[in-house]
Amino acid sequence: MSAEAERKTENLPQWKEEEVAELSEIIENYESVGVVGIAGIPSKQLQDMRRGLHGTAVVRVSRNTLQTHALEKAGFDELVPHIEGQVGLVATDSNPFALYKELEASKTPAPINEGEVAPNDIVIPEGDTGVDPGPFVGELQSVGANARIEDGSIQVMEDSTVLEAGEEVSTDLSNVLNELGIEPKEVGLDLRSVVAEGVQFDPEDLDIDIEAYESDVATAAARARNLAVNATFPTESTAPTLIAKATGEAKSLGLQASIESPDLADDLVSKADAQLRALAAQIEDEEALPEELQGVEAPAVTQAEPDEDESADDQDEESDADTEDEADDEDDDDDSGGGEGLGEMFG
């Protein structure tokens, strides 16, 4: 704490010193500390929000000067510029991403009053307003809605943007929106900034699509694994696939070269039998064949046999293609777990 801040704190009345001490204790006892805007939140709704955060975060509202003293005393000077207007302090042991996500989820729709600035485009949706024919149709038209009387009620004929983001709400528009029950703004704790482990985060840093982020990480992990398999780069993750690939290639080579091996005996016999039956089926004079081969039909072709003069390079390319398909299949299975470990980061 700076000497000036310490001097200011020492000159505070007793009750203010106690308040600063309590705020400082909250700040020092939690891993993440931030400033939240509370403007426009009714007192009852604010209390409900605080109860909803019980067990996850603590929200403390006090005078701005006292909050500033507490932040300076605890060494959180980077948050001081955000102490303006109606604000409070929030403290939690959750990471900033989880805190931001929870605060955003706790926001609720609320009506907008005249003189307020629209946070986003205000749209009156197409459909039946449920209002009986009368002067209200003129009020709708005066604020820019395409409305008319139809089928015994006032209908909005198409989605009508009646105010753009950043513009001020008029008295007429506020009355129309209240009549229709349209609540175009959200009310809740507005996180302005938070500090965790000495790192400051602003809302734009925390406003990310968690599911899309997890998907991107999982995809990157799967592609990296596939690259490692095709580059024959052994790791704990790729070793089983590389061994399976090598085993398959060795077996294929052994069959093509007719290498005698206990592991290949059954396949070699099956191959020889298929070749024999195929040859027998091509001989027109069945009496020229041994009795056991007479009437034998050619075996169904399940897979094209490579030509004997096929180059080794062509065989390798086919083997690599098969392996890539196998790797892709395994990667699909791994994708569901590619984002493991992110839950703790993002809550």
More confident residue, 134 or 310: 134
Predicted pLDDT of residue 264: 86
Question: Stretch 245-268: mean pLDDT, rounded?
Answer: 88
Predicted pLDDT of residue 162: 94
Q: Look at residue 261 and tell me whether its pLDDT is greater than 50.
A: yes
Q: 148 forms bridges with which residues in the sheet? A: 155
Cα–Cα distance, 64 to 66 (Å, whole number): 5
Distance in Å from the first CA to the final CA of the chain = 32
Distances in Å between the Cα of 71 and the Cα atoms of 25, 38, 42 are 10, 18, 26
More confident residue, 323 or 271: 271
Judged by average pLDDT, the poorest of 87-101, 128-142, 152-166, 268-282 is 268-282
Residue indicated by tokens 């500033």? 68
The CATH number, out of the four listed (3.40.50.2000, 3.40.718.10, 3.90.105.20, 3.30.590.10), of the domain defined by the range 122-183? 3.90.105.20
The structure tokens listed for 32 are 């993440």
Q: In the chain, list all ranges with CATH 3.30.70.1730.
A: 3-107+188-207
Predicted pLDDT of residue 299: 66
Kindly indicate the confidence band of residue 192, based on its pLDDT and cuts at 50, 70 and 90. very high
Cα–Cα distance, 59 to 88 (Å, whole number): 7
3-state secondary structure of 200: strand
CATH 3.30.70.1730 fits 3-107+188-207, yes or no: yes
Among 305, 312, 319, 318, smallest CA distance to 246 is for 319
E strands, the chain, in order: 32-37, 57-60, 87-92, 108-110, 122-124, 127-128, 147-150, 153-156, 160-163, 185-187, 190-196, 199-201
Tell me the per-residue pLDDT of 26-36, one tens digit each, with 9 for 90 and over. Answer: 999 999 999 99
All residues at 6 or more sequence positions from 51 whose CB lies less than 8 Å from its CB, including other chains: none
Q: Look at residue 306 and tell me whether its pLDDT is greater than 50.
A: no
Q: 185 forms bridges with which residues in the sheet? A: 110
Task: Report yes or no: 194 and 96 within 8 Å, Cβ to Cβ.
Answer: yes
Predicted pLDDT of residue 168: 93
Cα–Cα distance, 242 to 228 (Å, whole number): 9
Kindly indicate the confidence band of residue 333, based on its pLDDT and cuts at 50, 70 and 90. very low
Predicted pLDDT of residue 33: 96
* DSSP result, 25-40: HHHHTSSEEEEEE-TT
Phi-psi region of 42 (alpha: psi -120 to 50; beta: other; left: phi over 0): beta
Among 106, 129, 124, 111, smallest CA distance to 184 is for 111
Predicted pLDDT of residue 209: 83
Q: Look at residue 327 and tell me whether its pLDDT is greater than 80.
A: no
* Mean model confidence pLDDT for the chain: 82
What distance lies between CA 148 and its chain's CA centroid? 43
Q: How large a percentage of the chain has pLDDT more than 90?
A: 50
Q: Look at residue 99 and tell me whether its pLDDT is greater than 90.
A: yes
Kindly indicate the confidence band of residue 225, based on its pLDDT and cuts at 50, 70 and 90. very high
Predicted pLDDT of residue 290: 78
* DSSP result, 66-104: HHHHHHHHHT-GGGGGG--SSEEEEEESS-HHHHHHHHH
Q: In the chain, list all ranges with CATH 3.90.105.20.
A: 122-183
Cα–Cα distance, 127 to 156 (Å, whole number): 5
Task: Report yes or no: 42 and 110 within 8 Å, Cβ to Cβ.
Answer: no
What distance lies between CA 5 and its chain's CA centroid? 42
Q: Look at residue 322 and tell me whether its pLDDT is greater than 70.
A: no
Predicted pLDDT of residue 301: 55
What's the pTM value of the predicted model, to 2 decimals?
0.54
